[in-house]
Structure 1
Amino acid sequence: MRNNQFAIKPTTQEQQLTELAAIHFLDDTNKEENNAALLWRSFLKKAFTDAVSESTFEQKLATLMATKNQTLAEYLQTHDQVEVTAFYNVALQLLDFQPQLDFELDQPIEAMKKIQLTVVDHQNEVLTLDELKSAWYWLLATHNKDGQTYLDYLATQQYFTPFYDDEEVSRPLIFNGKSMPIFDPHQLVREVVYVESSQDTDHDGKLDLLKAEIIRPKMSGTNYPVPALYTASPYNQGTNDEFGDKLMHDVNVPLTPKEPNENTYASIEYHAPAEKLPEPRQVKGSTTEAEETFSREQSYTLNDYFLARGFAVVYAAGIGTKDSDGVRTTGDPEETTSTIAIIEWLAGNRRAFTNKTDNIEITADWCNHQVGMTGRSYLGTLATAAATTGVKGLKTIISEAAISSWYDYYRDNGLVIAPGGFPGEDCDVLAEETFSRRLQAGDFHQVTSTWKKQLDKIATDQDRTTGDYNTFWDARNYRKDMHNIKADLLLVHGLNDWNVKPRNVEKLWNGIQNNHINKKIILHQGQHIYINAFRSIDFTDIANLWLTHELLDVDNGAEKIIPNVIIQDNLTPETWNTYDNWSDPQNHQKNYYLSENSLSSDKLPNSQTLEFSDKLPENIFQNYCKNIDEWQNDLVATNSTTMQNHRLIFSTQKLENELILDGVPHVKLRVASDQNIGLLSFQLIDFGQRKRFNVSPSILKAKGLAETFDWREDDLREFTTATAPTSYKMITKGHLNLQNRHHPYRVDELKKNEFYDITVDLQPTFYKLPEGHQLGLVVYATDFGMTIRGNQDIKYRIDTDYSSLLVPFHQ
């Protein structure tokens, strides 16, 4: 294990003593203690919460080794002082590291440094009283073998349960800049309200009411308002998977010619239509008591973690979902409006009602009007959408694997592109899947015809025929409004996420550089996943430090302590590195020229024309449609007989030094098609035998991480190295319809056998290519995992004299 903690707050000795007293490790029983061994013993006694009697405490001490020859019980009986080695031998064991396996009892400091755990500054081999207190402080803030701070572990062992009803305890209780779990998670208020939004998407003559489910600490209220973590999840009230499956589109269809046009952005730009809205409801009374509750939500474990730390959590599914009004729209401004309506109510700027008929208003008097949004995928997407409105009350978002432009999710450069793993999905399919009003037959009966019209309109406007960027997609491009973002951003994305592809976060990241907000980004080696339960990074601590600063106004230095860019290393397990920036447009670029089979820094004097065909024998084509992994392996295998004439592979010589790719690679080609249609796909490849990370993180301990005492758990996960080496790794990819070679919204004529110059931006990356490996480029047409699959007899020619690969690299 290698520990990576980025959320440890530098703290003075004076502040350490104050915080140790606040969490009751220093109190009247030990604060004047002059015997170091007795002081250490008192700390241990408080930490062993399950040892009720002195005998059981001694029994616990006897299970730990202080030196190679003495148990901790023996050591405390024979010493007045505390040796550094003894303290850290015990500390490592308290952190669940095992002698002779993880460290040696005569070398604990070396182990602490190797694992990257915090060691107190000390002058001699024996800790002074002040050094001992400081060492205990840092031990509490240090991660154990499961990637959880020792103090958070103690919380799971009921250390903080006496704090729940202690009126003398400061709330929130802050330790090392983070909020502590001093709110009883078994004493939560669960209530439902219906927020009146400024829209009428089902055209029933009434403003849409949106259901919101609230979970908050029992003591929250006007006397103790708390911040709200809000997760907008269209899946929250259930899904219609079977109905969605029926709408899945056939991707085994041919590419067809498109009528050339002279479109400009202005000709397809979205403008919000003028719409007369119904009058707001007439309020017939007010209350502070909700009339409806619920038993269990579809929760996010990061939210669960914060419930015990004095934050409320709000879930809302939005328009067109069960118990709400309206219809689904998949990412357009109407959905953004419904998303921010909840924020406006939490901030005191919008009305909500206790039910959908009586018009009894209810306020969020328990909220301090500070809102943060959390969530991954669609959930993070709506957080991003909300942030681009600049809505008052939204202080920050933690947005994971989020879409910033829906065109970059379902399309690419004039092509219909599937999100990885979901060929045939599109906006209409997702709308149907999340239209959970269908789950209530009586409610659905009222909107059946309205919903059919809405679904038909989405299916038409998304335009699977051309794949062009049009007004429909422009309405779903949040990046147009990046300049409005006022909330601080913590962005998280997978460098191998082929569902929500990395372009979505990279363009957002580079688009907010001048917004004068606090912004951080964490990039991991995963696909479409959460990382809050990873062992090797303190993501939960980062979120705690961040949200404590953002929503509780605690001056904990989060904006300075958390690095701007944290990237998981793709070569060394459990390693995360920090950088000042990612995908800086000013990064230097390496130019590789294409020639037969090779990428070279030097341009060869003789021009070559290389060709390949997209047409496969029918049996092979059908096999690849069903076995995409097999197609991928054959695509990049230089000895593949089935794909030999159906793609071009170029590669460098073996690298003499490590090369770090950082940003957006560009492919420049001079290309011709023997038809008046054509599509090209590209993959950047790391060629070289190596035991690489498994595609998905491994579960190290099922339900191994508890959020606090007797409160929800999460699986402890980590990326592990595969047992067998592989010969390649796909780094990034990209696609282009040759008729959209200038812009996704413009269609150009494509003449048979005429050469055209194209430039294609691949998906952004950050990738370490090790010494001895080769950088490869694969040029092909049909991408069996993402594009339509027409298996058409189209031949492509590449003029290598005018073709190159530009790779941005990190110096």
Structure 2
Amino acid sequence: MPEARWPALLCGIPLAVAAMTPQAAATPQPTPEPPGGVSQPVFTAEPVRETVWVETGLDGDGDGVVDRVAADIARPAGTDARVPVIMDASPYYSCCGRGNESERKTYDEQGRPVGFPLFYDNYFIPRGYATVLVDLAGTNRSQGCVDVGGPSDVTSARAVVDWLNGRAKGFDSADGGRPVEAPWTTGDVGMIGKSYDGTIANGVAATGVEGLRTIVPIGAISSWYDYYRSDGVSFGFDPVGLARTVEEGGRPDCDAAKQDLVDGAPANGDMTPLWSERNHVPDAGNVRASVFAVHGQGDLNVKMVQFGQWWDALARGGVERRVWLSQTGHVDPFDFRREEWVRTLHRWFDHYLLGMDDGVEKEAAASVERAPDVWSDEPVWGGEQARPTTLHPRPGSTGGLGELGPEPGQGSASFTDDPGLGEYDWAARPDQPSPARALFTTGPLQRDTRIAGTGSVTVAATPGTDTAHLSAMLVDYGPATTRDYLGQGEGIRDTATESCWGESRPGDDACYTDTEATRSDVDFEIIARGWADLANHESLSEERPLRPGTPYEMTFRLATTDHVVPAGHRLALIIGGTDKEFIVAPPRPGEIGLDISGTSVTLPVVGGASPHITATTPAAPPVVRPDRAPQQPDVQLNRP
């Protein structure tokens, strides 16, 4: 471990065991520092480690007994000071692991928790926090059944918040046992977690539960429909598969719960009550906690639309919030911006859980990675200042290759759905027509243009058969160096060194492999994507059979983005049929015609349209060098 790293991270706060400040009294208190300071590592004794089983009020497995979920606790010892809680509720503690090193929980021979994944216990317990890791119902040592984002999942975690605040029952065993209370805590809770874990934090916050002071959702879902479906199309996987994974093969007494997932998630992509129940966005008005959201713009697992719609809903409710947007894929900030992340998270929890006046709430509300390891801070996220800007396609001199600009066009275009092709096939040859897509390109932009927020595409489409799926993407054509978020590490790779973050204990190591950015030189970037089933043009809840030769109009979303298109680059809209990288083909793919006068793309442009995006000027189309085209994704979807 390079010692030179510590001063920059800790501002002089020692971490290694040998350098820890000795415990000054039998009952040390977290000592507030002057404004701008941080909590100090004064709790050096071996932490208290215990498991409490908390009643959820549900009987998911139908055995006639109220389910209990396991909350594994590590908290400061040798003190009567009450402490706040950092909580991570997860289904992955035994099946899949957490973090870049896939850490799992471990226990001693008596079943007491020993190994806590991630660094939260090592770093924060000495500073006056407890760490509580909750097994969601149906996973690891918890009773009940997994319902993938439904009431069982959310209640699993909320019940523990209630127990920490004296409103729920806890016991010292899974069955029977003695009641256990939590007099050691203030009841103030901060929930944190990546992916499924962060999704649970969103869901618990949306209940408005008292005692939850802040959440830190990382690459988290706000609507489970948008994880498995998109405006009527399916991504080809379903929640029952994830339920079996986190149950480690499936629990026989949970067959009914799994059948509910099968019945409630039809393959046709319709919105159903199951999906509505797992949509936290409409309940964002209930959120009382502050929110520190983190998301990767290259995340093709939990896509950026999950962040965008959640952020917009929180903004409408006036929730205190902050965001980091990286160029990575589905990656934790501990693995792409480690020192700054620990420093910032430390101060965030100090402020919202310990009540310290460290000024963190007055700092930049947004930090966006513009190039690998190059970050831009701003007082308000630019997506809140963007204005809708509508661009229209126009026919070009070559069939299938058109223009894109602010003035509406006339004419038509067409393509034939080829389910064997995808977005990178369509985007890689912008100077060549393709029967599988229509491509419309601006001229070289006159100045840098920032697109920040959630856009949409409107199509006037005429199907040649009675089924039609649509894909749309926004492409920045021009040379750039980006994080290689399509590669195996999704923008990072491990190095040969490690660094330590807190105090290591037997069976619970505080040291982690360091990482570094991976880079890719490209000639284009796909900056936003969207998919839809034309049969859902009237309603997402009910698809309607299409009549071949009949025109239909439909508007569907593009994923949220925050991207600066440099001056001299071109912006393109590509419309195709089945994108093999993401969506399932319709039963009868065929030719699809576009009425150009009824087709457009609406983008959130910071500063508005004029003079950022102007009419296309005649010029040669962008040319992509084969050695600089992005590789097709090497990422595994539907994973932690």
- What TM-score range do you get, normalising by the shorter chain? 0.7 to 0.9
Q: Against the structure 1 CA distance between its residues 736 and 588, is the aligned structure 2 distance closer, same or farther, given a 3 Å change threshold?
A: closer
Q: Deviations over 1:280-309 (max 9, x none)?
A: xxxxxxxxxxx8512323x12345322232
Kindly indicate whether the alpha-carbon contact (under 8 Å) linking 1:212 and 1:342 is maintained by their aligned counterparts in 2.
Answer: yes
Q: Residue 517 of structure 1: which of 319, 329, 345 is its match?
A: 319
Kindly indicate whether the alpha-carbon contact (under 8 Å) linking 1:609 and 1:798 is maintained by their aligned counterparts in 2.
Answer: yes
Deviation at 1:507, TM superposition (A): 1.2
Kindly indicate whether the alpha-carbon contact (under 8 Å) linking 2:450 and 2:563 is maintained by their aligned counterparts in 1.
Answer: yes
Residue pairs, 1:373-772, within 5 angstroms: 373-417=191-235, 424-436=236-248, 448=252, 450-464=253-267, 466-535=268-337, 538-560=340-362, 562-569=363-370, 571=371, 573-584=373-384, 587-596=387-396, 597-603=401-407, 607-615=410-418, 621=420, 631-638=422-429, 644-695=434-485, 696-699=490-493, 701-708=495-502, 710=504, 712-722=510-520, 725-772=521-568
In 1, Cα distance between equivalents of 2:391 and 2:411: 18
Question: Secondary structure at the residue paired with 2:221?
Answer: coil
Q: Against the structure 1 CA distance between its residues 304 and 399, is the aligned structure 2 distance closer, same or farther, given a 3 Å change threshold?
A: farther
Q: Against the structure 1 CA distance between its residues 394 and 794, is the aligned structure 2 distance closer, same or farther, given a 3 Å change threshold?
A: same
In 1, Cα distance between equivalents of 2:385 and 2:272: 27
Deviation at 1:515, TM superposition (A): 3.0
Kindly indicate whether the alpha-carbon contact (under 8 Å) linking 1:489 and 1:520 is maintained by their aligned counterparts in 2.
Answer: yes
Identity of aligned residues (%): 25
Q: Against the structure 1 CA distance between its residues 752 and 699, is the aligned structure 2 distance closer, same or farther, given a 3 Å change threshold?
A: closer
Deviation at 1:804, TM superposition (A): 2.0
Match of 1:182 in 2: 42
**1:296 partnered with 2:115:** yes
In 2, Cα distance between equivalents of 1:219 and 1:576: 43
In 2, Cα distance between equivalents of 1:365 and 1:525: 43
Give the stretch that moved more between structures: 429-438 or 798-807: 429-438
In 2, Cα distance between equivalents of 1:212 and 1:350: 13
Q: Against the structure 1 CA distance between its residues 311 and 657, is the aligned structure 2 distance closer, same or farther, given a 3 Å change threshold?
A: same
Q: Against the structure 1 CA distance between its residues 757 and 491, is the aligned structure 2 distance closer, same or farther, given a 3 Å change threshold?
A: same
Question: Where does the alignment leave 5 or more consecutive residues of structure 1 unmatched?
Answer: 1-92, 97-139, 241-290, 418-423, 439-443, 625-630
In 2, Cα distance between equivalents of 1:737 and 1:532: 38
In 2, Cα distance between equivalents of 1:472 and 1:603: 42
Deviation at 1:364, TM superposition (A): 1.4
In 1, Cα distance between equivalents of 2:527 and 2:556: 16
Question: Secondary structure at the residue paired with 1:340?
Answer: helix
Deviation at 1:95, TM superposition (A): 5.1
Q: Against the structure 1 CA distance between its residues 788 and 236, is the aligned structure 2 distance closer, same or farther, given a 3 Å change threshold?
A: same
Kindly indicate whether the alpha-carbon contact (under 8 Å) linking 1:387 and 1:397 is maintained by their aligned counterparts in 2.
Answer: yes
In 2, Cα distance between equivalents of 1:794 and 1:526: 36
Deviation at 1:335, TM superposition (A): 1.8
In 1, Cα distance between equivalents of 2:437 and 2:155: 46
Match of 1:236 in 2: 93
Structure with bigger gyration radius: 1
Structure-1-length-normalised TM-score: 0.68
Deviation at 1:610, TM superposition (A): 1.2
Deviation at 1:476, TM superposition (A): 0.8
In 2, Cα distance between equivalents of 1:535 and 1:805: 34
In 2, Cα distance between equivalents of 1:682 and 1:537: 38
In 2, Cα distance between equivalents of 1:403 and 1:172: 36
Give the stretch that moved more between structures: 791-800 or 337-346: 791-800
Deviation at 1:573, TM superposition (A): 4.1
Kindly indicate whether the alpha-carbon contact (under 8 Å) linking 1:524 and 1:567 is maintained by their aligned counterparts in 2.
Answer: yes
Match of 1:805 in 2: 601
Q: CA RMSD, aligned part only?
A: 2.8
Kindly indicate whether the alpha-carbon contact (under 8 Å) linking 1:614 and 1:793 is maintained by their aligned counterparts in 2.
Answer: yes
Kindly indicate whether the alpha-carbon contact (under 8 Å) linking 1:615 and 1:791 is maintained by their aligned counterparts in 2.
Answer: no
In 1, Cα distance between equivalents of 2:389 and 2:244: 44
Q: Against the structure 1 CA distance between its residues 536 and 679, is the aligned structure 2 distance closer, same or farther, given a 3 Å change threshold?
A: same
In 1, Cα distance between equivalents of 2:29 and 2:60: 46
Kindly indicate whether the alpha-carbon contact (under 8 Å) linking 1:590 and 1:809 is maintained by their aligned counterparts in 2.
Answer: no
Question: Secondary structure at the residue paired with 2:334?
Answer: coil
Kindly indicate whether the alpha-carbon contact (under 8 Å) linking 2:438 and 2:575 is maintained by their aligned counterparts in 1.
Answer: yes
In 2, Cα distance between equivalents of 1:169 and 1:333: 40
Question: Secondary structure at the residue paired with 1:653?
Answer: coil
In 2, Cα distance between equivalents of 1:702 and 1:398: 29
Q: Deviations over 1:246-305 (max 9, x none)?
A: xxxxxxxxxxxxxxxxxxxxxxxxxxxxxxxxxxxxxxxxxxxxx8512323x1234532
Kindly indicate whether the alpha-carbon contact (under 8 Å) linking 1:390 and 1:485 is maintained by their aligned counterparts in 2.
Answer: yes
Match of 1:794 in 2: 590
Q: Against the structure 1 CA distance between its residues 315 and 599, is the aligned structure 2 distance closer, same or farther, given a 3 Å change threshold?
A: same
In 2, Cα distance between equivalents of 1:168 and 1:314: 21
In 2, Cα distance between equivalents of 1:536 and 1:205: 47
Q: Against the structure 1 CA distance between its residues 611 and 749, is the aligned structure 2 distance closer, same or farther, given a 3 Å change threshold?
A: same
Give the stretch that moved more between structures: 497-506 or 162-171: 162-171
Deviation at 1:694, TM superposition (A): 2.0
Deviation at 1:767, TM superposition (A): 0.2
Give the stretch that moved more between structures: 668-677 or 699-708: 699-708
The amino acid across from 1:237 in the alignment is S
Q: Against the structure 1 CA distance between its residues 366 and 539, is the aligned structure 2 distance closer, same or farther, given a 3 Å change threshold?
A: same
Q: Against the structure 1 CA distance between its residues 589 and 568, is the aligned structure 2 distance closer, same or farther, given a 3 Å change threshold?
A: same
Question: Where does the alignment leave 5 or more consecutive residues of structure 2 unmatched?
Answer: 98-109, 608-640
Match of 2:30 in 1: 171
Q: Deviations over 1:578-610 (max 9, x none)?
A: 2413433862425243333233325376x3221
The amino acid across from 2:265 in the alignment is Q
Q: Deviations over 1:63-100 (max 9, x none)?
A: xxxxxxxxxxxxxxxxxxxxxxxxxxxxxx9956xxxx
Q: Against the structure 1 CA distance between its residues 95 and 599, is the aligned structure 2 distance closer, same or farther, given a 3 Å change threshold?
A: farther
The amino acid across from 1:581 in the alignment is W
Deviation at 1:214, TM superposition (A): 0.8
Deviation at 1:787, TM superposition (A): 0.7
Kindly indicate whether the alpha-carbon contact (under 8 Å) linking 1:573 and 1:720 is maintained by their aligned counterparts in 2.
Answer: no
**1:210 partnered with 2:69:** yes
Question: Secondary structure at the residue paired with 2:245?
Answer: helix
Q: Deviations over 1:690-727 (max 9, x none)?
A: 333222333474453211355512333343433xx322
Q: Against the structure 1 CA distance between its residues 708 and 324, is the aligned structure 2 distance closer, same or farther, given a 3 Å change threshold?
A: closer
Match of 1:151 in 2: 12
Kindly indicate whether the alpha-carbon contact (under 8 Å) linking 2:16 and 2:502 is maintained by their aligned counterparts in 1.
Answer: yes
Q: Against the structure 1 CA distance between its residues 334 and 457, is the aligned structure 2 distance closer, same or farther, given a 3 Å change threshold?
A: same
Kindly indicate whether the alpha-carbon contact (under 8 Å) linking 2:472 and 2:531 is maintained by their aligned counterparts in 1.
Answer: yes
Q: Deviations over 1:648-688 (max 9, x none)?
A: 11111111211111112222221110111111001111111
The amino acid across from 2:523 in the alignment is S
In 1, Cα distance between equivalents of 2:266 and 2:441: 37
Counting matched residue pairs gives: 583
In 1, Cα distance between equivalents of 2:403 and 2:22: 65
Which protein has the bigger strand share?
Answer: 2
Which protein has the bigger helix share?
Answer: 1
Residue pairs, 1:307-346, within 5 angstroms: 307-346=125-164
In 2, Cα distance between equivalents of 1:808 and 1:516: 21
Kindly indicate whether the alpha-carbon contact (under 8 Å) linking 2:335 and 2:492 is maintained by their aligned counterparts in 1.
Answer: no
Residue pairs, 1:273-288, within 5 angstroms: none
Match of 1:77 in 2: none
The amino acid across from 1:409 in the alignment is Y
